[in-house]
């Protein structure tokens, strides 16, 4: 298959990163998790004791950071100024703050320009919230992946080793983040006009992956 770009957007826990990774493996494409970049900035900001509303300091910190996404033994590895923060960017504190950092226009501008550069040579599957609308508006395949809030919370709950919260609390936390992401002024989470909507509620993972691959084949053979 010739190289092209796939934009995969949707709310938290919809299955974006899992589907994107499997599709990328199948096609021999590069998987890029843009959420990890917003998480990396949030990690650094919290490490430095800066609050999310200290906007000027957050921007200064984001500008000075070197964020590298690279393939690792268990998926995408995230390095900040050479330090491996892959696991640390998934903490509860980061979940609680990342959407506040992600609503700062200058932080978005900075990360979006890096993301565009990463996809310039094509052959990427990129997941996030604004990929089809802002980062790769010309992506050949655009998908908006969703599922009910309850199911998304249950999926996330099942992934937890020793959950410190209930599935109900997790659902509330996810709903709060979805609301912040969907209602922010800059590049809100929204389905691109030309994206295909896939609701994965009660749909097994392999079927969702199969559907995405089918859309890719149709696109490259001129079917849709
Ligand atoms: O994996 P999960 O769906 O929990 O979130 P993520 O993809 O790691 O993204 C974390 C947060 O980063 C989101 O809730 C958004 O606030 C922000 N984000 C964004 O604004 N734009 C993107 N392209 C990707 C993530
Ligand atoms: O990246 P995003 O936040 O959208 O979701 P994810 O981290 O890829 O998926 C959350 C969990 O849902 C993972 O454990 C997936 O294996 C699972 N999943 C599922 O059970 N059924 C699907 N159709 C898609 C994902």
pLDDT score, position 72: 84
Task: Flag whether 222 is in a domain.
Answer: no
Task: Flag whether 223 is in a domain.
Answer: no
Atom of ligand 2 nearest to the CA of 158: 14
Task: Flag whether 220 is in a domain.
Answer: no
Distance 120 CA to ligand 2 centre (A): 27
Spell out which residues line ligand 2, taking CB within 6 angstroms: 10, 12-18, 155-156, 159, 200, 203, 205, 208
Question: How many Å apart are CA 134 and CA 119, to the nearest integer?
Answer: 13
Q: What is the pLDDT of residues 64-84, one digit of tens each?
A: 999 999 988 878 999 999 999
**Ligand 1 in contact with 34 (CB < 6 A)?**
yes
Atom of ligand 1 nearest to the CA of 102: 20
Task: Flag whether 134 is in a domain.
Answer: yes
Binding residues for ATP: 10-18
pTM summary value: 0.95
Task: Flag whether 1 is in a domain.
Answer: no
49 is in which domain, residue-wise?
6-212
Tokens standing for 64? 């000075």
Q: What is the CATH number of the domain that holds 162?
A: 3.40.50.300
Task: Flag whether 157 is in a domain.
Answer: yes
Distance 170 CA to ligand 2 centre (A): 14
Q: Whose CA is nearest to atom 3 of ligand 1?
A: 12
Tokens standing for 18? 């899992």
Tokens standing for 220? 């490259």
Dmax (CA) of the chain: 52
Indicate the number of domains in the chain: 1
User: Cα dist. 19→34, 114, 154, 158 in Å?
Assistant: 14, 23, 17, 17
Question: ∠ at Cα 49 (47, 50), nearest 5°?
Answer: 110
Atom of ligand 2 nearest to the CA of 127: 1
Task: Flag whether 182 is in a domain.
Answer: yes
Task: Flag whether 91 is in a domain.
Answer: yes
Q: What is the pLDDT of residues 133-185, one digit of tens each?
A: 999 999 999 999 999 999 999 999 998 888 889 999 999 999 999 999 999 99
> Please, what's the b/e burial string for 190-219 (b: 16 or more CB within 10 A of its CB; e: otherwise)?
ebbeebbebebeeeeeeebbebbbebbeeb
Q: Establish how many alpha carbons lie within 13 A of residue 161's alpha carbon, considering only the half-sphere containing its beta carbon.
A: 2
> Please, what's the b/e burial string for 49-87 (b: 16 or more CB within 10 A of its CB; e: otherwise)?
ebebeebeebbebbeebebebeeeeeebbbbbeeeebbe
Which ipTM score applies to this complex? 0.96
In DSSP terms, 124 is beta-bridged to: 30
Contact 203, 153 (CB under 8 A): no
Task: Tell me the pLDDT of the chain averaged across its residues.
Answer: 94
């Amino acid at each position: 298959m010739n190289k092209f770009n796939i934009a995969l957007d949707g709310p938290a826990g919809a299955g974006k990163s899992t589907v994107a990774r499997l599709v990328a493996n199948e096609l021999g494409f590069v998987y890029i998790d843009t959420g990890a970049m917003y998480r990396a900035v949030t990690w650094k900001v919290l490490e430095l004791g800066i609050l999310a509303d200290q906007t000027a300091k957050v921007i200064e910190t984001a500008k000075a950071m070197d964020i590298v996404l690279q393939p690792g033994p268990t998926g995408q590895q995230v390095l900040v100024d050479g330090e491996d923060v892959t696991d640390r960017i998934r903490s509860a504190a980061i979940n609680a703050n990342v959407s506040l950092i992600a609503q700062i226009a200058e932080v978005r501008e900075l990360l979006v320009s890096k993301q565009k550069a990463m996809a310039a040579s094509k052959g990427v599957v990129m997941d996030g919230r604004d990929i089809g609308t802002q980062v790769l508006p010309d992506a050949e395949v655009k998908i908006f992946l969703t599922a009910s809030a309850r199911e998304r919370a249950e999926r996330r709950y099942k992934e937890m080793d020793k959950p410190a919260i209930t599935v109900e609390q997790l659902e509330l936390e996810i709903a709060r983040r979805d609301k912040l992401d969907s209602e922010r002024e800059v590049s809100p989470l929204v389905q691109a006009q030309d994206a295909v909507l896939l609701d994965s509620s009660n749909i097994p993972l392999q079927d969702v992956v199969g559907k995405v691959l089918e859309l890719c084949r149709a696109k490259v053979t001129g079917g849709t």
